[in-house]
Amino acid sequence: MKTMTIQRTNTSIHKTFTVSTLSLLFILLLSVLSSPTKGQDQTVDLNTGGFTQLSFDTAIDQQDNHIRLYEIPNDILRVAISPFSWNKREFRYGIASFLVTGLAFSADRGLNDFMQRNRTPFLEDLSSNIIRLGGEGYSLAGALAVTFIGSKIGKNERLAYVTYRAGEAWIMTAGATGLVKLLSHRHRPEENPDDPFQFDGPSLSKDHVSFVSGHTSSAFAIATVFSQYYKERPWVVWTSYSLATLVGLSRMYDNKHWFSDVIGGALLGTWIGYTLTKPDQARNPGSYSVYPIYSSEMVGLSVVLEL
Structure confidence by residue, pLDDT tens digits, 159-180: 788 889 999 999 999 999 999 9
Q: Which residues contact 160 (CB under 8 A, 6 or more apart)?
A: 65, 67, 148, 151, 152
- Residues 125-164 have pLDDT tens digits of 888 877 766 667 788 888 889 889 998 998 888 878 888 9
Q: Evaluate whether residue 251 is within a structural domain.
A: yes
Angle between helices 259-276 and 88-104 (to 10 degrees): 160
Residue 293 has a pLDDT of 60
Q: Evaluate whether residue 89 is within a structural domain.
A: yes
Q: Evaluate whether residue 125 is within a structural domain.
A: yes
The rounded radius of gyration (Å) of the Cα atoms in the chain is 22
CB 208 within 8 A of CB 188: yes
Domain that holds residue 75: 56-305
Q: Evaluate whether residue 137 is within a structural domain.
A: yes
- 230 confidence band (pLDDT: 50, 70, 90): confident
Q: Evaluate whether residue 8 is within a structural domain.
A: no
Instruction: Give the closest residue to 73 by CA, choosing from 168, 213, 166, 156.
Output: 168
Domain total in the chain: 1
Name the percent of the chain lying above pLDDT 90. 47
- Residues 247-285 have pLDDT tens digits of 999 999 999 999 999 999 999 999 999 999 986 444 444
Provide mean pLDDT across the span 23-28.
47
Query: Measured between alpha carbons, how far is residue 231 from residues 57, 73, 228, 235, 271 in Å?
Result: 9, 27, 5, 9, 16
Mean pLDDT of the chain: 78
Tell me the pTM. Answer: 0.76
Burial status of residue 251 (CB atoms within 10 A of its CB: 0-12, 13-18, 19 or more): buried
Q: Evaluate whether residue 48 is within a structural domain.
A: no
78 three-class SS: helix
Separation of alpha carbons 167 and 34, rounded Å: 17
Q: Evaluate whether residue 159 is within a structural domain.
A: yes
Q: Evaluate whether residue 24 is within a structural domain.
A: no
Provide mean pLDDT across the span 40-50.
38
